[in-house]
Amino acid sequence: MRLRRLELIDIRSYDRVVVTFGPGVTVLVGPNAQGKTNLLEAIHRAATGSSHRVSGDGPLVRAGSDHGVVRCELLGDDGRRRTLELEVGVGRRTRTKVDGQQVRRAADAVGALRVALFAPEDIAIVRGDPGERRRFLDDLLTQRRPAFGAARAEYDRALRQRNQLLKRARGLPADARAAAAATIDVWTEQLVTHGTQLIAARIAAVRALSGPVDRFYRELADRPEPVSIRYQASAGRDLGVPDVTEDPSLVPDPAPIADAFRAALAEAAEDEFARGLTLVGPHRDDLELTIGALPAKGYASHGEVWSLALALKLATVQVLAEVGDRPVVLLDDVFAELDTTRRDRLALACAGFEQVLVTAAVEADVPLEGARIEVAQADGLTRLRPREGAAGAA
């Protein structure tokens, strides 16, 4: 799909701007702190329901204003035109409209615009803590299957309730504990029901990613070693479902996962009461990344980390494109972080994408043909000036 036109009113450093984008590559060029990332952030927020920089929509509104608007005009792969509009207010819920109709839940708008964003922070997927890798998987799944977001919210709710119960029962003598935790079994059951859905969906995502990640890594890295990714469940190493299947899009059978999850919870019961915390479940799972025979975290060099993070992101573009529209690729300040060989290899991969929006402080860093828009601030407000070419702004 393509983002044809973007309008921002009172968003971050923009008071009002309208910009049109053509197919292929558009590079937003300008010195740092002028508003390039703000633009990509707004697009990413509209597409996924959350910002990659902050939680909550309040900070998106331009300082001094009480609400802002993000309006996207989209062109689907099937030629269908759609609009996606966000009205963001300080201290109130964001209103989202698809094709002029207000959606009941924010999750219903996810998927109208599909994006894959890559920013320098993304090396945390390889280097950071497990939470970063869970978020990477969940962001992909939310865009691939809108219902995943709902399942995730229900799991989080059941988890909070169960933790609260465990916290209250912590340190009580056995008989008082039984009374305080009389409902622990039903919360365990809720946790297993919703958690199993998350684990199954994530395993399916890992299966779908593993082939493309390996291929993209070999294309990007200096030493083309094989890369493997594997879902590491806190419920146990063996969930009774295969890591790899002939049909990578297959969602694993939930029954054995639920059994393993339930058994692991039963085993951890004493620990959980002692610590007042749920110790097993998708909220503690991880993604195991291996380059050659070594775990990427802790062993990979800086260049390998970058190549793997890029390969993971490029693989998500492909996985998303397998079901539904091809996503718009957003590259936020990525080229500056790469050496010349990797820049060229990334540029080569970008050539295959429907639409790519790139930000860069130094134009020479980006070895890509395509439209250029200059980004500069005047009096604290960002102005966009397209150079002669495919793109135009008003």
Partner 1 sequence: MYEGAVQDLIDELGRLPGVGPKSAQRIAFHLMQADTADASRLAEAITQVKATVRFCQRCWNISEAEECRICRDPRRDEAVVCVVEEARDVVAIERTREYRGRYHVLGGAISPIDGVGPDELHVKELLGRLDDEPVEELILATNPNVEGEATASYLSRLVTPLGVRVTRLASGLPVGGDLDYADEVTLGRAFLGRRELGV
How far is it, in rounded angstroms, from Cα 36 to Cα 84? 21
Residue 194 engages partner 1 in binding (rule: CB under 8 A): yes
Sheet with 67-75, strands from edge to edge, namely 101-102, 95-98, 81-89, 67-75, 2-11, 14-20, 392-393
By CB under 8 A, is residue 249 in contact with partner 1?
no
- How many residues bind to partner 1 according to rule CB under 8 A? 24
Is 233:199 a contact under the CB 8 Å cutoff?
Answer: yes
Structure token digits, residue 68:
């802002």
Q: Is residue 52 close enough to count as binding partner 1 by CB under 8 A?
A: no
Among 157, 275, 302, 385, binds partner 1 (CB under 8 A): 157
Strand ranges for the chain from DSSP E? 2-11, 14-20, 24-29, 67-75, 81-89, 95-98, 101-102, 115-118, 227-232, 286-291, 294-295, 328-332, 355-360, 371-378, 381-386, 392-393
Chosen residue from 54, 63, 182, 394 binding partner 1 by CB under 8 A: 182
Under rule CB under 8 A, residue 232 binds partner 1: no
Considering only 53-61, 143-151, 259-267, 271-279, which stretch makes contact with partner 1 by CB under 8 A? 143-151
Q: How far is the CB of 361 from partner 1 (least distance, A)?
A: 42
Give the one residue of 77, 189, 344, 369 binding partner 1; rule: CB under 8 A.
189
Q: Which of 14, 118, 136, 187 binds partner 1 (CB under 8 A)?
A: 187
Q: Which stretch binds partner 1 (CB under 8 A): 26-34, 122-130, 155-163, 199-207?
A: 155-163
**Packing angle of the helix pair 147-169, 184-220 (nearest 10 deg):** 130
124-158: b (≥16 Cβ within 10 Å) or e: bbbbeebebbbebbbbbbbbbbbebbbbbebbeeb
Which x/- pattern, by CB under 8 A, does the window 63-102 give for partner 1? ----------------------------------------
Site for partner 1 contains 190 (CB under 8 A):
yes
Q: What share of the chain is helix, strand, coil (3-state, %, to 5)?
A: 45, 25, 30
Answer for which of 80, 81, 93, 160 binds partner 1 (CB under 8 A) is: 160
Q: Is 287 helix (H, G, I), strand (E, B) or coil?
A: strand
Which is closer to partner 1, CB of 185 or CB of 247?
A: 185
Note whether 32 binds partner 1 by CB under 8 A.
no
255 lies in the site for partner 1, by CB under 8 A: no
Rule CB under 8 A: choose which of 108, 219, 267, 288 binds partner 1: 108
CB atoms within 10 A of CB 284: 16
| CB of residue 116 to partner 1, shortest distance in Å | 22
Touching partner 1, residues 271-300 (CB under 8 A): none
Instruction: Tell the smallest beta-carbon distance from residue 191 to partner 1 (Å).
Output: 10
The interface region with partner 1, picked from 7-15, 93-101, 178-186, 377-385 by CB under 8 A, is: 178-186
Residue 89 dihedral angles phi and psi, to the nearest 5°? -120, 155
Among 11, 112, 115, 151, indicate the residue that binds partner 1 (CB under 8 A): 151
Nearer to partner 1, 77 or 189 (CB): 189
Using CB under 8 A as the binding rule, whether residue 158 contacts partner 1 is answered as yes
- Rounded to whole angstroms, the Cα distance separating 322 from 334 reads 25
Does residue number 146 form part of the binding site for partner 1 (CB under 8 A)? yes
Q: What are phi and psi of 229, to 5 degrees?
A: -125, 145
- Residue whose CB is less far from partner 1, 146 or 248: 146
Per CB under 8 A, which region of 38-46, 149-157, 233-241, 311-319 contacts partner 1? 149-157
Taking CB under 8 A as the criterion, the residue among 69, 90, 124, 150 binding partner 1 is 150
* Nearest to 290, CA basis, from 228, 220, 205, 216: 228
Q: Return all residues near 160 (Cβ < 8 A) that are at least 6 apart.
A: none
Tokens of 249: 């899009």
Length of the chain: 394
For residue 166, give the 3-state DSSP assignment.
helix
Cβ 215 to partner 1 shortest distance, Å: 30
Interacting residue ranges for partner 1, rule: CB under 8 A: 107-108, 145-147, 150-151, 154, 157-158, 160-162, 164-165, 168, 182-183, 185-187, 189-190, 194
